[in-house]
Structure 1
Amino acid sequence: MGTGPAAVPPARRQAGTAGAATAGGQGAQRAGLAALHGTAGNAAVAQWIQRQEVPGANEEARKNAVDPTGHGEWSTFRDMMAEAGFPNSVTDAAWQLVLGGLAEQGRLNDEAMAKFTERQEQRDHRASNTWYQELVRLIGDYLEIDRPTMALWSGGIDTSVYARSKGHTPLEATPFGGVVDKLSLTKDWKLKTPMWNVLSKAFVNRARGPVHIFLRAYNPDSVLIAQEVPQLRVVMALNPAVKLIWHPVYTAADGKLREVTKGLELAADASYSKRDECVQVLYDYLRLKHDPENANSERAHKEMSDRLATNGNPR
């Protein structure tokens, strides 16, 4: 999924190439505290030491934070980062920050539920993880895209794959996003989802032109609609070149993703300048044209039906 060294600045690619030669040696095997100190500063190092005693931290996450190279995916992460062109110092510090964030996230998740009732306030508090924020400052340049247009999506990972097949670049196709996307990191997805939310906000802040948004399902509470698009509108206010292009996507019975036209036909491309028009077309197709025998779009149809019912509309 990663776009590889082509998306990394040349100076960093050279540093990454030199670092890769010693990836299996002493430098790659060190705990990484020195690299973290040099990259994230004294405050982060102090937190690295203190996090061993974070109350409420997931035990596995705490153990991995204290012994980062003992994590089962460390060598995989190290090798993929080298292949993508990252210097060893960035690799070491990024790994420390990812694992530190996982150890910290349990407490933030508990606080979010205890202190806030609004969904967005809970999401914002979970995303306030200082480790993930520091991670973005460290690897932000590696969220730039080398293909011409940024892509966002909602409705399952197949939608991301489809966006890439159309020549667009979602977060998980950036150099760093591509590495992290291939890792499990932890069995508790609630510990790593906020990391993706932080990364996605940093990603959309780097929009420089048209942004293609692919919808296979519409959920106003999704990260796409509640976080990414509002942030994009902030970017649009500062840069008129950033425009949103919406694509309603339906998975046909043969498993192929197609886009829905205004005439409710499936086509290779159907784009809209307004979100509401895109959602209306998608809903109309799911209501009127969806084949109940098509299991590929059963979930999207159910979500649409449930949302209409919740809003007082007949199924």
Structure 2
Amino acid sequence: MAKLRDLIGAMKDKASQGKAALLSKRATLSLLRATSHDSFTPPTPKHLSTLLSLGDGSRATAAPAIEILMDRLQKTHNSAVALKCLIAVHHIIKHGTFILQDQLSVYPASGGRNYLKLSNFRDNSSPISWELSSWVRWYAQYMEQVLCSSRALGFFLGSNSSSDAESQEERVSGLMNADLLGETDALVALIDEIGRKPDCGSTKGNRLVEEIENLVGEDRASIMKEVWVRVKEFRERLGCLSFGEAVELVCELKRMEESKEMRTMVAEQNFWDAVSEVKEKANLEVLNQDVKAYKAVRRHRASESDRFARSILSSADYLRFPSGRLLL
């Protein structure tokens, strides 16, 4: 049964590729070759390179390529095809030209259809397809979070545009506190999503799954570089945070400390020492500002009470209400 299904899938691939070749549809042909029905092998570097080269020309070439990719992702009921489409999306984010990346970021930021919403994806054609379905659901959600986090950061995470550590530090140093907190939250959200990755189970050793794990592993390194830059920047800003910003920072740092995924990702003790140091000092900022606010409220209430007493209690009141406390 499995062999018959594989044969049918291969026949579909050949028929689709032949039709695309006859019609001279370069984008369609490149995509079909990169996203075949084979459940065990990822897209080849050659096919991915050909797909990425569609962004070397004009926007008129790149836009149809992304549209074809997203349509294939949405219309397929085959878990291998879906995963290969998502791998192609991942490669575009990491290695694609600006034109391809820009077309990809349109979904769903412009209010269009969310092509990465695959939470109901199920392929029960075989046990391996059923196992791969859970990877499709998670990987689509992960790629959506990558796009959302990249939008918050202002660049595609893991791409060449984020590789220069020095320029990134310079950029981060110029951010407003609120923007810096927003970027930190986006990065931690991405780490949380990685932590939801399915167990390998019977897919262990599957080269398609291994390719996904390799790509996500590269993302982990990029994410932690960005997080580390922001933790160091907050250490320099501790005296410049408002009460609300200090509270939000403490919450973000607690999320880091409590994240099992981040604990797995980062073994360097100096990172965790820095997180602990910044959290403790931010907590002190919160307490100090809370005490100041409390004292200010007390002073305000006391002055209001004095004004109230002066405006209400006259000499006539003393006679009308002979309280022993008032007579004193």
Structure 2 length-normalised TM? 0.32
Higher strand share: 1
Indicate the structure (1 or 2) with the bigger Cα radius of gyration.
Answer: 2
Higher helix share: 2
> Larger relative CO (CA 8 A, sep 6+): 1 or 2?
1
